[in-house]
Structure 1
Amino acid sequence: MCEDNLQRSLSFGGRRCIPSHVEMEAFLAGKGSKVIPVQLPGGVDFPINIRSFTIVGEAVTELCKEMGISDFKELTEFCVLASRRKDGMVRPLHAEEYLFDFLLDGGSISLSLRRVNWKSPLSYSNDLYVDFHYQQLLGDYLSGQLMPPPAAGGSSPVQLMGELSALQHLALGLEDQPTLPKIKEYLPSQDGLSSKVEEIYSFCQRQITAMESLSPQDAKIRFIEFVSTLPLFGSNTFLAQKVSQSGIPSPCMVSINQEEVLFRHPKTQERVFQIFLTDVQSMRTIAPKKQGKEPAVEINYGNPANPKKVTIHLKQAKQLCHMLALLMES
């Protein structure tokens, strides 16, 4: 075991932290591994067995294997996130990092799995695969990160939200028509929706009648396919309180994908500014100068000899910075 750990140190570098007292006691008692829960989208905990020198990439491989994923390129599109319970700070972990460096005594850190890149075509032959992607995209949709544009493919936002509401209802396996209060649970966080709820409700009822033959799993697949046509699909979206670039509104939506950092108007989703990942020279997080202020991410981009700079102020500064680094590596 020591020889294997030494080989891993040569391959990936040493561990970031000295093993904790609890970990050392377990190791000396002959307990070389530990079962830990990794939360999947939707709040489902999936147990995996790890050792002191288990790297994040191995855990991702094990979790993806359960979803029927074996292609290396698709494996790299998933990421483990470490969340600190006391303040909610989230940090995406790189594939070469050791999981035990983030599993502090007392359970103060929780781990979750998320898809952060969407280059590979989606497949629906595995039920866990379907549930994982449905729950992640559902969470993004309901939180307002995957909003429909003012007019999507000729359909009004009311029609689109009505159909997505119907698919959510059918995905639960419910046969009765939903009530009006239930419909509100199927709608995203967005200003101005309250005046359209009854119209959405009426359209949703008609859609449920038209699609009543769909099984719950087929409804989830239809939801995934529908959401994948939205403009912000495939992006990791954050709400920034302020951006230093002139002409960018405050607040502003900042979306990161495998090609660019995109800045959009929070209500109209209009593109107002973009930085291609190939132009990014460096980035760093900046701690707030005063208590109560937001931290920031500083991105240097453009000509290496004379780079331009943009500063993004948001609560999830560390998460955005590490997410950007992960996508630049992929």
Structure 2
Amino acid sequence: MQEFALRYFRKSQALPGQTDEGATGKDTDSLVQYTKAPIQESLLSLSDDVNKLAVASFLALMRFMGDQSKPRGKDEMDLLYELLKLCQEEKLRDEIYCQVIKQVTGHPRPEHCTRGWSFLSLLTGCFSPSTRLMPYLTKFLQDSGPSQELARSSQEHLQRTVKYGGRRWMLPPGEMKAFLVLGVADGHCGTPWGGGVSPTGDHWPTDHWLTDPATCLGRKDKPLACFLFTCQEELCQQMGITEPQEVQEFTLFLIKEKGKLVRPLRPAEYLNSVAVDQDVSLHSRRLGWETPLHFDNSIYISTHYSQVLRDYLQGKLPVSAKADAQLARLAALQHLSKANRNTPSEQDLLAYVPQQLQRQVNMASIKNLMGQELRQLGGHSPQEAQISFIEAVSQLPLFGYTVYVALRVSMQALSGPALLGLNRQHLILMDPSSQNLYCRIALKSLQRLHLLSPLEEKGPPGLELNYGSADNPQTIWFELPQAQELLYTTVFLIDSSASCTEWPSVN
């Protein structure tokens, strides 16, 4: 940073009357070292109008760090917003980076210095410096890392910002308050999974969030400081998933308005960039299953178990009502996965059977067979039971698909509800009773997706698909409550460069 200062700082700000070559190492120390007096002009050579903003940002930084008294009527939140708003001016970003680095270098008061580092960690997660400053900033953070934990989190945030573009909107008050409570107070600003404890004292366990995200996101009383700069890639890392191909098979779904609006998040979207409203939650889901499963991480196992169990019980992974042995084994594995060694009650047994089969199956036969399975599987731990359940369900039809229940389809052969499966290659239609496959549409053949309004009052919306070639155009439509989700998910799975695909229209 001394080298950067000699090259790019104002001469008057640096060493008046001295050339770069004439400066000694001792002389240059003051260029990027704490000063107790506010600057009177910008560190970098800036235009007059931007120079005034630079002087204001330095004073705001000193006030936030505690080196200058706060003006009447302004608190820490106001100062943070002032600094971040100034950072929105692209010409000022390198200047503010240099100001923060200067004030945390050689600061005599550790608690004030920590506040400066906390802001730098926040800054690196929101805005990138110029390519000119980037190598110097990176080296500064690398050199500071061994002695400063926030330097390491700043490195991670900076890498994420370069890759994904940073947070695209100003942080909402809830997140800013959480940053002040958690990030500034204990020095864990925005570090994913950094021991997140909410201002109300509640703990956010990682595996609980992954399997039940609605308990943590989109609630006013639980702002997520530990998720400030988290996206799907970081969540995958917690499951032990590092291969890019497998990371791409996961996505987060944004759920708004009690399920009325559901869409997958783009890979570069940050969790808290979208979870800003009280009625918003996020749901992690695996959309692709090309990569072989590997059960070497407890969070990985519980996350996959949660997803396939939900699909199984909702009837999206069809099982014959006459397959008593298969139903009994899957019920036994569910029971053992709860670490429950007691004899299952009638109510337990019913809850282990898919909803649409509960009135069709022979419960007495399944109960008897389940007892045999429990005796054979008695040595299974809850985690082993979850793995066995996933492996057993993976043999069912439609495993590996995102499945929807279409209430009506424009095919005479399918007079009742049908199961609609979607993966990265194609869309298929299956009769849930016979498990016969009636239609397979390659996603690359889709020409247009058209969202249709309900035909009847309070009826489900529809989705029309135009596909095929110019010589043989074809059309099919479905009626289902999740028509909008299906549309967004289909578009998400199609290569974004496919110019033939249109975004939704409504008539």
TM-score scaled to structure 2, two decimals? Answer: 0.56
Which residue in 2 is equivalent to 1:82? 254
1:100-158: per-residue Cα shift (whole Å, max 9, x none)?
553334x12111211111111111111111111111111111111112247xxxxx611
Contact 1:117–1:327 under 8 Å retained in 2: no
1:163 corresponds, among 304, 308, 329, to 329
Q: In structure 2, do the counterparts of structure 1 residues 13 and 221 end up closer, same or farther at CA, with 3 Å as the change threshold?
A: closer
Return the alpha-carbon distance in structure 2 between the equivalents of residues 264 and 112 of structure 1. 26
Please state if 1:311 is matched with 2:482: no
Please state if 1:326 is matched with 2:492: yes
Shift of 1:297: 1.5
Shift of 1:213: 1.3
Q: Secondary structure at the match of 1:198?
A: helix
Which residue in 2 is equivalent to 1:145? 316
Contact 1:297–1:317 under 8 Å retained in 2: yes
Once superposed, what is the RMSD of the aligned Cα atoms? 3.4
1:64-102: per-residue Cα shift (whole Å, max 9, x none)?
111111111100111111111445432212213454553
Q: Secondary structure at the match of 1:274?
A: strand
Contact 2:249–2:287 under 8 Å retained in 1: yes
Q: Secondary structure at the match of 2:353?
A: coil
Q: In structure 2, do the counterparts of structure 1 residues 253 and 98 end up closer, same or farther at CA, with 3 Å as the change threshold?
A: same
Shift of 1:255: 0.9
Write out aligned runs for 1:144-293 (5 A): 144-149=315-320, 157-191=323-357, 193-288=359-454, 291-293=457-459
Please state if 1:134 is matched with 2:305: yes
Q: Secondary structure at the match of 2:240?
A: coil
Which residue in 2 is equivalent to 1:73? 245
Shift of 1:266: 2.8
Contact 2:214–2:281 under 8 Å retained in 1: no
Return the alpha-carbon distance in structure 1 between the equivalents of residues 345 and 161 of structure 2. 58
Q: In structure 2, do the counterparts of structure 1 residues 328 and 15 end up closer, same or farther at CA, with 3 Å as the change threshold?
A: same
Please state if 1:41 is matched with 2:218: no
Q: In structure 2, do the counterparts of structure 1 residues 72 and 233 end up closer, same or farther at CA, with 3 Å as the change threshold?
A: same
Return the alpha-carbon distance in structure 2 between the equivalents of residues 169 and 293 of structure 1. 37
Return the alpha-carbon distance in structure 1 between the equivalents of residues 478 and 364 of structure 2. 38
Return the alpha-carbon distance in structure 1 between the equivalents of residues 420 and 179 of structure 2. 48
Q: In structure 2, do the counterparts of structure 1 residues 25 and 218 end up closer, same or farther at CA, with 3 Å as the change threshold?
A: closer
Contact 2:425–2:443 under 8 Å retained in 1: yes
**Computing the radius of gyration over CA atoms, which structure comes out larger, 1 or 2?**
2
1:287-316: per-residue Cα shift (whole Å, max 9, x none)?
336541221222111104663221211110
Which residue in 1 is equivalent to 2:263? 91
Which residue in 2 is equivalent to 1:301? 467
Q: In structure 2, do the counterparts of structure 1 residues 289 and 268 end up closer, same or farther at CA, with 3 Å as the change threshold?
A: closer
Q: In structure 2, do the counterparts of structure 1 residues 198 and 62 end up closer, same or farther at CA, with 3 Å as the change threshold?
A: same
Q: In structure 2, do the counterparts of structure 1 residues 217 and 144 end up closer, same or farther at CA, with 3 Å as the change threshold?
A: same
- Unaligned stretches of 5+ residues in structure 1: 151-155
Return the alpha-carbon distance in structure 2 between the equivalents of residues 27 and 164 of structure 1. 43
**Structure number with higher helix proportion:** 2
Return the alpha-carbon distance in structure 1 between the equivalents of residues 416 and 360 of structure 2. 24
Q: In structure 2, do the counterparts of structure 1 residues 9 and 213 end up closer, same or farther at CA, with 3 Å as the change threshold?
A: closer
Contact 2:337–2:385 under 8 Å retained in 1: yes
Greater RCO, CA 8 A, separation 6+: 1
- Equivalent position amino acid for 2:310 in 1: G
TM-score scaled to structure 1, two decimals? Answer: 0.83
- Equivalent position amino acid for 1:239 in 2: V
Percent identity over paired residues = 30
1:179-217: per-residue Cα shift (whole Å, max 9, x none)?
222211111111464541111111000011111111111
Q: In structure 2, do the counterparts of structure 1 residues 87 and 328 end up closer, same or farther at CA, with 3 Å as the change threshold?
A: closer
Contact 1:39–1:113 under 8 Å retained in 2: no
Please state if 1:102 is matched with 2:279: no
Shift of 1:244: 2.2
Which residue in 2 is equivalent to 1:153? none
